[in-house]
A and B are shown apart, each in its own frame.
Chain A
Amino acid sequence: MPDLADLYQQVIIEHNRSPRNYRVLPDANRTAEGDNPLCGDRLTLYLKVNGDTIEDVGFQGRGCAISQASASLMTAAVQGKRVAEAQALFDAVHAMLTGSGTPDPGRLGKLAALAGVRQFPARVKCASLSWHTLRAALEGRAARVTTDDPRT
């Protein structure tokens, strides 16, 4: 039986209550919108990318605790990272959420708190929305990311 305590870890509850980087970046040069029409989760992600470095990151959105905490954790994890590192994090988180690979706990750090989501298949899209939005922003895709998109 899946365990609620694995899903709603203290880190998740806390990031949902006080999301990090919850702001519009006026000087953002990459933005993307994420939308899960099925449950109404949505967020706008702002990145300031200088060369190959993510100098600043912010987001605003609304949705369930998993979606908001995941977005908050994501922004904290990619702040100051190189684009290639952020993309590698996307791959690692995606593997963790879908069980399609072996996650590397050393690389994931606090993001490991999202591991419990895997036991709740109905909630995986909540956790992955912000990450797909990150990838779209990094790739400069202007279109809105939705969880109904086959690419996600």
Chain B
Amino acid sequence: MFEKEKLEELKKNQTDWNDNKVGKSLERFPERKKQFATGSNQEVDRLYSPVHLEDFDYDQDLGFPGEYPFTRGVQPTMYRGRFWTMRQYAGFATAEESNKRYKYLLEQGQTGLSVAFDLPTQIGYDSDHALAEGEVGKVGVAIDSLKDMEILFDGIPLDKVSTSMTINAPASVLLAMYIAVAEKQGVSSQELRGTIQNDILKEYIARGTYIFPTEPSMRLITDIFEYCSEHVPGWNTISISGYHIREAGSTAVQEVAFTLADGIAYVEAAIKAGLDVDKFAPRLSFFFNAHNDLLEEVAKFRAARRLWAKIMKERFGAESPKSMQLKFHTQTGGSTLTAQQPDNNIVRVAIQTLAAVLGGTQSLHTNSKDEALALPTEESVRIALRTQQIVAHESGVAETVDPLAGSYYIESLTNKIEQEAMEYIKKIDDLGGAASAIDKGFIQKEIMDSAYEYQKQIESGNRIVVGMNKFQVKEETPKGLLRVDPAVGEMQKEKINQLKGERDNKLVQEKLTILKEAAEGKENLMPHILEAVKVYATLGEVCGVLREVFGEYQQNVIL
């Protein structure tokens, strides 16, 4: 990119500038700190110039948008064609309550749905299970059977909206219910668009809603890949998630490295199960975090895109460009929100929104200002959505593709993040891959070390979080937080009792027995799960059968 001679001259000039100009300036105006670093502790130089990009090659490193290695984006025109999907993660209490919130969000101009399930649902327990007590409807909507799912999507045309579901261990069951609801609306599974998270490895690493041990979990995942490639071709079968890894305290580099390492494990599992890489890989999607260090985050997204393209092409021999495209959803960083002076969070979220958009995200959830305190109210969700709309319509950043490309700093940081992530992936390969690195506690410990380091920086005052460890004010207790009615648990129990009185229990037992036999063998489980949920077998019953056959994951407690 840069002529050798020119570069040499520039290097010399830069050294001169550093010794003379900078030296003199420092005598009079010392810098604020001895060392400068990104939000993830990457050292930051005073100035970036072509000297940092000696081997930079436009074609090889960037290419054009929509072309390998996709550094500049997965589509040729990006947001000039269509903005990212504005998708607010929502769900609480009962299906009825959540259905109302979805309709509200769609009326406000949201373009896709994103379903939050409560913890019992995510861990495969019905609301009447002893371990569900106190948890029903708290962090998401409670779904016990197809009945609840019918209410959740009542009046929402499933051929028109795309739906993302944050569901992992029991992903097959919720996807089956979604297919069944669509069928009742007269919508064929061929027309459905959406995503299931379905990423069990990061549950073991960071999020905690696992059920089954690794091997049967990987089987359930590859069963979904196979089933959807034929029956639900518009469905993103997995959302390989760095979001929760980052929330657990990882650095930006670790977020990229561990997420892509998980991705490698899924691709390997699917290939081992006999699937053709170019058949399932185009439906893999990713999910990243957006934190406050704007430029580092932009570089992170670009590095992840380039690295994944290389992995798919070089490591797995993918031929279809679609298999090499890293498409991703972004959520702004929940852990960056402060409980102190919650209005400040609106500004943080705006910066993070810019990071996601300048990084080329396909869809975005913006957090609400009150989420360090409780689930968001309708008003605060609207501000969060408006933040995206302002960036889309007023900021101008969506008018051209990858506008920060070519910045010496951005390109250097992109290179550095890619390089360091590759080193981590190599280490994980040496440990036997992601699943084995998790078993050994390696990934968890790396994240924890970063999280603890971050905490120490805050407490020592080396890192400032406005309103939390500096610029504090005396505050009133925040008012008007959203509260989930504790009666939700009882209401759900009542619904289950009623359902069990109405459905054909003999038929349910039959379908569950067939599912059990299939689980003991090797067949694809999706069709059997679909059959069971259609006759109103509950989520807990389906997962119960699978628990019997597969057993449960035992967490490796790492401190």
Do these two chains really belong together in a complex? no
